[in-house]
Amino acid sequence: MGIVRSQSIKNSLSFYIGMIIGALNTVIIYPNAFHDNPEYFGLIQIIIAYGVIISAFTSLSTPQIFLRFFPSINHKGQLYLISFILPFLGFIIFILLFFLFKSQIFDIL
């Protein structure tokens, strides 16, 4: 079996296993865990959604940069350092903007 084929099978299998685990969490575990307080289930879903949105902004396109420039960099250690520093800077910028505009953000929410 070719390398690409075996990797795509492993990737598909891990994707489907993750989807099954997520579906079991959402359909079986969460409703039973939050049976007394269903509003906490909604709160968890909102927190997860906010985290996904914030992570998209704080990454500063680091995965795309990593894929684009990894083959052309001679010293691979430089790219690993950049892939750590860029998201960290994005997170710092996001935190600063959040604290500067905290009242406006909470007025909207």
* pLDDT tens track for 17-68: 999 999 998 899 988 888 888 888 888 889 999 899 888 888 888 888 777 7
Question: Could you give the CA distance from residue 18 to residue 37 in angstroms, rounded to a whole number?
Answer: 27
- Cα distance between residue 71 and residue 63, in whole Å: 14
pLDDT in tens, 57-107: 888 888 887 777 777 667 767 777 777 888 899 999 999 999 999 988 888
Q: Are the beta carbons of 65 and 82 closer than 8 angstroms?
A: yes
Nearest to residue 58, comparing CAs of 78, 80, 79, 84?
A: 84
- The whole-model pTM stands at 0.63
